[in-house]
């Protein structure tokens, strides 16, 4: 009888407490992330491209901000992306996406495009980007390419096919969600 009472107490006290913490801290971030996903679904893609995989993430994605907490605002990054195969030239892909704007949370976003470099062996290689390309795309591009490199076999990316990563992203300054503290 005492065991049942303890279980009942845990269920009636602990479960509502956990739900309240989730609703107050994590649910708003999950809601924002869902808005980014919904907005990305409205994005048009060039007709000569093929969907390969979704590549979405949210959390403390900016390593500089995490490392230097005293110097940068803390919060949550949202990134919704796809990896796509293409044929044709890069300029056509870039101009196709540049013509589109996505409205989310009162902000107009233009999708970013990152072409996935492969070395002669057919492996994704972030070091194949020129210094100018890295400077233009920012340090996050290298991190994205490193992640894709580690997932290459799972994603089925192989030479001589050409691939790119298209994404929208944003930031929310929140210090409440424990998922973004580390």
For 8-17, write each residue's pLDDT tens digit.
Answer: 777 777 778 7
Beta bridge partners of 59: 77
Beta bridge partners of 164: 84, 115
pLDDT confidence tier of residue 62, bands split at 50, 70 and 90: low
Contact 49, 93 (CB under 8 A): yes
Residue 173: per-residue pLDDT? 66
Mean pLDDT of 172-178: 63
Q: What is the rounded CA–CA span in Å between residue 96 and residue 86?
A: 12
Residue 151: per-residue pLDDT? 93
Contact 100, 74 (CB under 8 A): no
Q: What is the pTM of this model?
A: 0.80
Q: Is the pLDDT of residue 132 over 90?
A: no
Q: What is the rounded CA–CA span in Å between residue 82 and residue 89?
A: 18
Sign of the torsion angle spanned by Cα atoms 31, 62, 103, 97: negative
């Amino acid at each position: 009888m005492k065991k049942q009472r303890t279980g009942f107490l845990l269920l009636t006290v602990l479960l509502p407490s956990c739900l309240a913490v989730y609703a107050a801290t994590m649910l708003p971030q999950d809601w924002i992330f869902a808005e980014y996903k919904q907005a990305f679904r409205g994005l048009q893609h060039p007709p000569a491209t093929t969907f390969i995989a979704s590549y979405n993430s949210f959390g403390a994605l900016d390593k500089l901000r995490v490392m230097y907490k005293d110097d940068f605002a803390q919060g949550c990054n949202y990134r919704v992306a796809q990896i796509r195969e293409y044929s044709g030239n890069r300029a056509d892909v870039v101009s196709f996406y540049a013509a589109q704007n996505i409205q989310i949370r009162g902000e107009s976003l233009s999708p970013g495009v990152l072409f996935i470099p492969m070395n002669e062996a057919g492996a994704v290689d972030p070091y194949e980007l020129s210094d100018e390309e890295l400077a233009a795309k920012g340090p996050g591009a290298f991190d994205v390419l490193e992640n894709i490199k580690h997932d290459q076999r799972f994603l089925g990316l192989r030479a001589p096919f050409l691939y790119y990563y298209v994404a929208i992203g944003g930031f929310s300054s929140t210090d409440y969600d424990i998922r973004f503290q580390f």
